[in-house]
Structure 1
C-alpha cells in the first residue's frame, strides 16, 4: 500500500494528494471526483501524512497502514456512520491492541471514512518502492517535517533606542483665567 503523498488537512473533509510545494505551503488536489485544488498554507493549516499516522495502543503505536492492511482482509467493514459499539467491535478485530480510552469513536469514523475513500484506488494496492522510501524524499515527507518543526524566526532589525523620554504632557486649559 503506497500512501506517500496522501494527506489529511485539518478543517477540510476527505483526503488530499500533494502535487507540489511552494514557499508557504503545498498545492493539494482532492481525491474525490471533483478534483478540487487547494493551496494549504503551513502557517494556518495542519497536514497529516497518512503513512505517518498511528493509533494509540497499550504497547507500541499501531501504524495506520497496518490497520488498512487488516481491513482489506476483514470480512465485513462497517460504514463510518455505524453505531459506536459496532465500530469498537470492528476495531478490536483489526487493531486488537488499540487503547480504547484514547481512540475515540470519532477517530474510528475518520479511519473508516479514509478507508472507504482509498479502497478502490490503484495506489491502495500498489507496493511502496524501496528507492522511494529510502533515498528520494517525496513532497509529503517535507510537509511532515515542516509541520512538526517550528519555523525559523526571521532576522530582526534592531531599532535604535529612543532619544531621552519626553516629559509627560500636562493637560491645562488654553486660557487659565477662564478656568473654573
Structure 2
C-alpha cells in the first residue's frame, strides 16, 4: 500500500493529495468528488501523512497502514460510520487488536473508517510502498 502523498489536515474534513509546493505552502487537492485545490501554510496549519499516523496501542502504537491492511485482508468491508458505538468498537477490535480503548475514541474510529472508504478505490491503495532510502 503506497499512501505516501496522502495527508490529513487539522481542521479540514476528508483527505488530501499533495500535488505541489509554492512560496505560500503546500498545494493540496481534496480526494472527494469536488477535487478542490487549496494551499496550506505549515506555519498556521498542521498536516500529517497517512504513513506517519499511528493509533494508541496498549503496548505499542499501531500504524494506520497496518489497520488499513487488516481491513483490506478482512474483505475490505467496513461498518457504517453512523453505527452505534458498540458496533464501531467491535469492528475496531477486529482490525486493530491491542488498541488502547481508553484513548481511542469513537470519533477516531469513525475517522479511520471514513478515510479507508475514501482511499480504497484509489490506484495508490493497490501499489506497493517504495522502499525506504538507505
Do the structures match in fold with TM over 0.5?
A: yes
Please name the residue that 2:42 is paired with: 42
Distance in 1, matches of 2:127 and 2:115, equals 17
Please state whether the residue corresponding to 1:29 is helix, strand or coil.
Answer: strand
Asked if 1:53 is matched to 2:53, the reply is yes
- Calculate the aligned-residue CA RMSD, in Å: 1.2
Partner of 2:14: 14
Matched, 1:93 2:90: no
Give the 3-state SS of the residue equivalent to 1:38 in structure 2: strand
Post-superposition shift, 1:114? 0.1
Within 1, Cα distance between the matches of 2:32 and 2:64?
20
The 2-side partners of 1:24 and 1:42 are apart by: 9
Question: Alpha-carbon deviation of 1:101?
Answer: 0.2
2:108 is aligned with 1:107: yes
Find the aligned partners of 1:86 and 1:70 in 2 and give their Cα distance: 17
Q: Paired residue for 2:133? A: 134
- Larger Rg, first or second structure (1 or 2): 1
Unaligned ranges ≥5, structure 2: none
TM-score, with length taken from structure 2: 0.94
Alignment partners' CA distance in 2, 1:102 and 1:95: 13
The unaligned stretches of length 5 or more in structure 1 are: 136-180
Cα deviation, residue 5, structure 1: 1.0
SS at match of 1:124: helix
**Larger strand percent:** 2
Deviation of 1:23 after TM superposition, in Å, equals: 3.2
With normalisation by structure 1, the TM-score equals 0.71
SS in 1 for 2:121: coil
What is the aligned partner in structure 2 of residue 78 from structure 1?
79
